Structure 1
Amino acid sequence: MVESKVEPFVVGSKSFTAVAINTAAKAGQWIKSKLGDINRVDTKYSSQDLVTEVDKGSEKLIRNLIMTHFPDHSILGEEGVEPGPEASAKALQAMSDEEYLWIVDPIDGTTNFVHGFPFYSVSIALAHKGEIIVGVVYDPSRDELFVAEKGKGAYMHGNKTKVSLDSKLSESLVATGFPADRDGALPINLKGTLALAPKVRNLRSGGSAALHMAYVAAGRLSGFWEIGLSAWDVAAGSLLIQESGGKVSDTAGNPYRLAVRNVLATNGQIHDELQQELAGAGATGL
């Protein structure tokens, strides 16, 4: 794996970015080694919200690696939080004042992983006083590692990532997701899907928000939106996109912050048009 060319943030003699890259890569390779070897699948918030012993093992591995280097830092990980949107918001709120907060999704795309569908990722971000300064998304299936540092650009295997140049929805490949919250977020997202499908070049739904956002950063998608996400789905991807020249906001167009759950992420050029379509369809969730 080729690491990024950016100069890393350093505390003492330790690089935040190097630890994030190393941790994501190790977790990703371990996850990949477990593919097809899942003994138990449990549900969390709904019958579509899956968790495996691999999710839990990956989060434990990530926590151990981070705490070895930065024992004074805090970690917010998906598997350490009770299921459901209220619990996610509460967990983030409880840690929002931490100086250094690592925000971790040990497998983003667990349903894909369970089914052997190769579109899942490890997402690791580091926030300093609420602002994301490092973001890493690793796709073990393709061995693609996306990394960004605040103010220093975003890279994939040493190549700078740039958002697409599409200037209107009709030229754009756009992604969304189908939330596990079947009663709340899903119907709203379906409204947006119905409104946007005729307006865009085409729609995709890969099943990993973090990877969708990495694809927006790399110019493979021009936009992505989803209702009802959590900080660990979005934190790393938001920095990847911003450092690649794109824009991330909530679905009403307000600036992105860690508490945003209804996410709109684009190359910047189609942002307003996409936001207006969602608003017109009553599909912002806000």
Structure 2
Amino acid sequence: MNLAQLANNLNIICRKAGSFIRQEGETFDRSKIEKKGFNDLVSYVDKEAEKQLVEGLRKLLPEAGFITEEGTDSTRGERFNWVIDPLDGTTNFTHSLPVYCVSVGLMDGDEVVVGTVYDPSRDECFWAYKGGGAYCNDTRIQVSDAPALKDGLIATGFPYYDFGLTQQYLQVLGSFMSKSHGIRRMGSAAIDLAYVACGRFEGFFEYNLNPWDVAGGAIIVLEAGGTVSKFTTDGDFLFGREIVASNGHVHSEMQQTIAEFWKKEPA
């Protein structure tokens, strides 16, 4: 399989879906918002973008199956599966906040081998394939060389529907605030990962995530020279519902900071 050519074609498909999303955002009517659950929003834009992606990707790799956020296609492939978030940052999109993206990763067995995160608002296409490095549009990117957490800017995502670990999470946030240049909450895990890959953030952590939130961005971080894991162990960050991504230099500090408070009973 020619992963370079596959990545190039994936970028074209993601850009097309992103263009549709951007155009719909110019006239989007909030009355068309639906709720899948508490604070879990979806719109016709998410669903239509996913249909476009599935259609294009099915032609690109007919033998591949799909793991999709909106359930447009749930057919699993024996070896290959596309992991799709058609609109990561739906809440931002519905509030006209231009921080959202299309995120797609291709799994070969248990490993993501190709990934694209396309931000239509900034026309930035982050992409990577196994062994091929990471890019933003046509420019090669790499993680930052900041040596320690005290030199870094950290991204995260706040809980928005499962608040059972809120107190521990706030303690972790407080610790990161005192150890770094600060905390940012963009509202799109895929963009957070892309920004780690290109050196805008030194690290990112979040829990209660799904595989489609991280599949596309994780391989971009790895191919940019970064490190990706679960909160305090290596483990399965794709389906494990928690992730730490970093430039590598600050990774152990991030894991130690999280471990100090995470999943302990409040004092």
TM-score by length of 1: 0.86
Structure 1 CA distance for aligned equivalents of residues 22 and 68 of structure 2 = 20
In the other structure, the counterpart of 1:194 is 174
Correspondence 1:7-18 to 2 at 5 A: 8-9=2-3, 15-18=5-8
**Residue 56, structure 1, aligned to residue 40, structure 2:** no
The alpha-carbon deviation at position 116 of structure 1 amounts to 0.7
- Stretch deviating more after TM superposition (36-45 or 180-189): 180-189
In the other structure, the counterpart of 1:79 is 70
| AA of the residue aligned to 1:9 | L
The alpha-carbon deviation at position 252 of structure 1 amounts to 1.2
Identity of aligned residues (%): 37
Structure 2 CA distance for aligned equivalents of residues 42 and 234 of structure 1 = 23
The alpha-carbon deviation at position 235 of structure 1 amounts to 0.8
TM-score by length of 2: 0.92
**Residue 263, structure 1, aligned to residue 243, structure 2:** yes
Structure 2 CA distance for aligned equivalents of residues 178 and 61 of structure 1 = 30
The answer on whether the counterparts of 1:222 and 1:267 sit within 8 Å (CA) in structure 2 is yes
| Match of residue 30, structure 1, among 4, 17, 20 | 20
| AA of the residue aligned to 2:35 | T
Structure 2 CA distance for aligned equivalents of residues 230 and 19 of structure 1 = 25
| AA of the residue aligned to 2:98 | P
Residues 81-120 of structure 1: CA deviation (Å, up to 9, x unaligned): 8xxxxxxxxx8xx94x730100000000001000111110
In the other structure, the counterpart of 1:282 is 262
Structure 2 CA distance for aligned equivalents of residues 38 and 187 of structure 1 = 36
Structure 1 CA distance for aligned equivalents of residues 165 and 36 of structure 2 = 16
The alpha-carbon deviation at position 43 of structure 1 amounts to 1.4
In the other structure, the counterpart of 1:41 is 33
Pick closer, same or farther for the CA change 1:193–1:283 going to 2, 3 Å.
Answer: farther
- Stretch deviating more after TM superposition (174-183 or 236-245): 174-183
Pick closer, same or farther for the CA change 1:197–1:20 going to 2, 3 Å.
Answer: same
Structure 2 CA distance for aligned equivalents of residues 80 and 234 of structure 1 = 17
**Residue 243, structure 1, aligned to residue 223, structure 2:** yes
The answer on whether the counterparts of 1:175 and 1:204 sit within 8 Å (CA) in structure 2 is yes
* DSSP 3-state at the match of 1:26: helix
The alpha-carbon deviation at position 217 of structure 1 amounts to 0.2
Structure 1 CA distance for aligned equivalents of residues 237 and 59 of structure 2 = 28
The alpha-carbon deviation at position 255 of structure 1 amounts to 4.2
Count of aligned pairs between the two proteins = 262
**Residue 130, structure 1, aligned to residue 110, structure 2:** yes
| AA of the residue aligned to 1:29 | S
The alpha-carbon deviation at position 183 of structure 1 amounts to 2.6
**Residue 150, structure 1, aligned to residue 130, structure 2:** yes
Structure 2 CA distance for aligned equivalents of residues 283 and 142 of structure 1 = 37
RMSD: 2.1
Correspondence 1:201-240 to 2 at 5 A: 201-240=181-220
Residues 225-249 of structure 1: CA deviation (Å, up to 9, x unaligned): 0011110010111100110110000
Residues 238-271 of structure 1: CA deviation (Å, up to 9, x unaligned): 1001101100000013144531211000000000
Structure 1: gaps (5+ residues):
1-6, 82-90
Structure 2: gaps (5+ residues):
none
| AA of the residue aligned to 1:27 | A
Structure 1 CA distance for aligned equivalents of residues 87 and 120 of structure 2 = 10
Runs of 4+ in 1 over 4 A off after TM superposition: 185-188
Structure 2 CA distance for aligned equivalents of residues 106 and 211 of structure 1 = 13
Structure 1 CA distance for aligned equivalents of residues 102 and 41 of structure 2 = 16
